[in-house]
Structure 1
Amino acid sequence: MTLRTDLLVIGAGPYAYAAAAFARDNGIGTHMVGCPMSFWREQMPAGMYLRSGPDWHLDASGEHTFEAFFEDRGLRPEDFAPIPIGVFLDHTEWFRERKGLEVDERLVADLAQPNGRFVATMEDGSTITAEKVLAAPGIHHFVNLPAWYADVPEASRAHTSELVSFDELGGARVVIVGGRQSAYEWAALLCDHGVGHVDVVHRHDVPQFAEVSWAFVDEYVDQTMSHRGWWRGLRAEQREAIAGEFWRVGRLTLEPWLVPRIAPEVVTRHPRCAVTGVTAGEQELLLTLSDGETLRADHVVFASGYKADVARVPYLAGVRDRVTVTDGFPDLTAGFETSLPGLYMTGFASTRDFGPFFGFTKGCPSAARIAVTEMLG
């Protein structure tokens, strides 16, 4: 049996929710497939907090916002600062219900376009045909790992997206590779769960821990809404300056609520260092640093972020030869359309053409509005 729809949304995370909701709000027959908020539910720890506030939301129509969720539930945003991930997930489920979004929890095995229409073959062998497809591939496809990752035994290593339970590491010696929010938040979570010792190794200086405002992003998103292709139209030095601002606020300045949870007697920082060698012994790991120090560890956590590579999105294999790519990113029009007409892509994979802020939930409503407006012509 073949299901037919005008728009197939592949993915069930924030960007997919936003796009599917706005498409339906605008009369486009829409079918969404994927596991609802699975990365957020399964690959982020329950004790995690958001860096953003309730002003970041999913609704391109501006009605069912995060702030509206708080009001509807009789909650005060000031009582949830920082916002626990569980509250955000409650909000996304509330959003889905209010928008009447149904999620087909089957997964796409392959996408093709044999006769002008897209055909998605599902893992159960059934098919869905669609005039247009919006893919919002999750960042789990884009895990970034250093070359020496394979030198660490499988049982003794994990990317932060894989380490969401910490009880088994009680008393262990852990090395975290990376120095941004996830690195220090995972260090705090390990301290919360009685880790023996944590070494945090990163190339840059020790980040600051201070209150920051993300309001500077608003202007850039507004510019993207007002001027098609705004980000790509900037001179290289302008893009670098904005990316540098984003790096300073979002990467080199971390949340102050981490500080009391990072026990100084447990956590040792190794700034301006890199791992240059790994030796796996029978009882422990030995990691050699660029400053000559050797660390002894039971487990290594890679807080090494993500790097776009659409070739790693398995369901795109059937159309990959028709989607042009630069540095792992799909080449997108000002309306989020790929080089394959009718195929759109939002989320982290769009950040080369739209700016770093479109890899965060801040970009969800504007990406949905831009892409759906493009579809409507």
Structure 2
Amino acid sequence: MTGYSIATIPGDGIGQEVIPVGQRAAEAAAAKHGFTLSWTEFDWSCQRYAETGQMMPDDGVDQVRNHDAIYLGAVGWPGVPDHVSLWGLLIPLRRQLNLWANVRPVRLLKGVQSPLAGRTPEEIDFIVVRENVEGEYSEIGGRLYHGTDQEMAIQEAVFTRRGTDRIMEYAFQIASERKASGYRGHVTSATKSNGIMHSMPFWDERFEVMATRHPEIATSKYHIDILTAHFVLHPDWFDVVVGSNLFGDILSDLGPAVAGSIGIAPAANINPDRTAPSMFEPVHGSAPDIAGKGIANPVAAVWTAAMMLEHLGEVEAAKTLERAIEVSLESPVTRTRDLGGTADTAPCAQSIIAAIGQ
């Protein structure tokens, strides 16, 4: 029987509540489809930072490197600055494991009502592909003249041809695969070349080059400001959207909001070369305002687990999890409150687990 080793990092806040649900769901799907999952849990979190001064130990990346995948809950908690928590855990994992492709599906699931009036599941179904290791999220820069009226902060963005080309190629590959499954076969580029005079014209130039390599895929490009408006006004226009680290981050939060709730949003940090484990994390964050209340939506964690299983080659098990999610969303009794239901975390989780066995 095939077995997979998963490094599990529940992290902070509701991550500690929803990741166990995702584990139970993944184990149920594994039992149904004839493989096993073994979990190694790591306590890396803001609580650990408060106790030790580190989000994870110095050799943390090496500790997870030999696992088949990483399943991460959330990072961040009041009292620990966000740049400390992210640069102490999430970003080192992404960069040192070369997880350069961030993939975030946006889909209006059956049973969920979009805040956009009258929209149907057929009209909101696209994928945001985000460059994940360079771009605007750079360590290059600094601050001068602290505490004076001349204080300044300089932040450099880094766009390499290698990094830009490979994320665009990855987006075109996804669009080709989706076209073979009946989708539009279309890639939209997020840019801002009318205001950012070096990196974004370069991005546009590379997008044009990559588009010529895929003549079977239709393309469009929009400046990020109007693109956010089109996400709301015309979500049916989109199939695959590719963006830089910052633009992709923004769009992949807006997308799930259009699809009903950020509480259902999954994400994958992919190492396409498979030289290290890929990492899978819900988009919703640690949500300190509801942490510990037992009301967090576990759907994103389960959908993220489905993405993990698909990446591991267990495609049918991943489909089982996705179908179970939709079954659980059919009734308001098993939908959580952010989706207009009445359920707490536990009834929603129980519904998903029960649906896996059906």
Shorter-chain TM-score range: under 0.3
The structure richer in helix per residue is 2
Structure 2 length normalisation: TM-score?
0.27
Structure 1 length normalisation: TM-score?
0.26
Which is greater in Rg? 1
